[in-house]
Structures are given as C-alpha cells and as structure tokens.
C-alpha cells in the first residue's frame, strides 16, 4: 500500500512538472512549483518511512521551510521586480 502511495506521489510530481513547464501563466507556474515542493516533502518523508530511516523526516521538514521561503522570495520578486520593497512616502529614512 505504501509503495502505491509512493508511485502516486511520483506520478503527481511528473504532472506538476508538466504544468510548471506548459502552464498558461506565471501564477499557474508558480503554483505548480509550490505544489511540486510540497509533493517532494511528502515523497522524502514516505521514502524515509519505507526505508526505516526516521532522519529523513527532519530533512523533509527542512525542505518544506526552504520551499516556503523560496516561494515568498519568488512572489516578492514577481510583484516588485526586486527582492527589496520600495520605500513608501513618509516612512522616513532612505537608502
């Protein structure tokens, strides 16, 4: 049963990669890459369980955090075209 779950996750990962490469817009591609990262976390945790290595769960949690931070950076980059937000009027201080 767990091998079937692993195979299903691999199939969905392939489908999300197809969506990421051939998606109609930037939003759909970003969403597909985020979903690929989530499926990767599930895949690493499931493989760790199947092989009897509980330390893979720590690796998958670390990957989840990196995936979240990278998604925020990509969304900020696509919104502002820069990783640093422009200063608002009246905020004081300038760079």
CA dihedral 34, 39, 44, 45 (to 10 degrees): 110
pTM (predicted TM-score): 0.77
User: Does residue 72 sit within a domain?
Assistant: yes
Instruction: Please give the chain's pLDDT, 95 residues, in tens.
Output: 888 999 999 999 999 999 999 988 888 898 999 999 999 999 999 999 999 999 999 999 999 999 999 999 888 888 777 666 666 666 655 55
What pLDDT shows up at residue 23? 83
Looking at the structure of the chain, the number of domains it has is 1
* Whole-number Å distance between alpha carbons of 15 and 22: 11
How confident is the model at residue 60, as a pLDDT? 95
- The confidence score (pLDDT) of residue 81 equals 73
Predicted local confidence at residue 66, as pLDDT: 95
Instruction: Report yes or no on 95 lying in a domain.
Output: no
Domain range for 53? 2-80
Contact predicate 39/9, CB 8 Å: yes
């Amino acid at each position: 049963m767990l091998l079937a779950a692993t195979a299903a996750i691999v199939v969905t990962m392939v489908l999300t990669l197809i969506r990421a490469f051939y998606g109609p817009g930037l939003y759909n591609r970003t969403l597909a890459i985020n979903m690929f990262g989530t499926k990767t976390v599930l895949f690493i945790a499931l493989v760790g369980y199947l092989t009897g290595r509980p330390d893979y769960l720590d690796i998958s949690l670390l990957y989840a955090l990196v995936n979240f931070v990278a998604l925020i950076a990509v969304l900020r980059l696509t919104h502002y075209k820069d990783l640093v937000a422009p200063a608002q009027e009246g905020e004081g201080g300038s760079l």
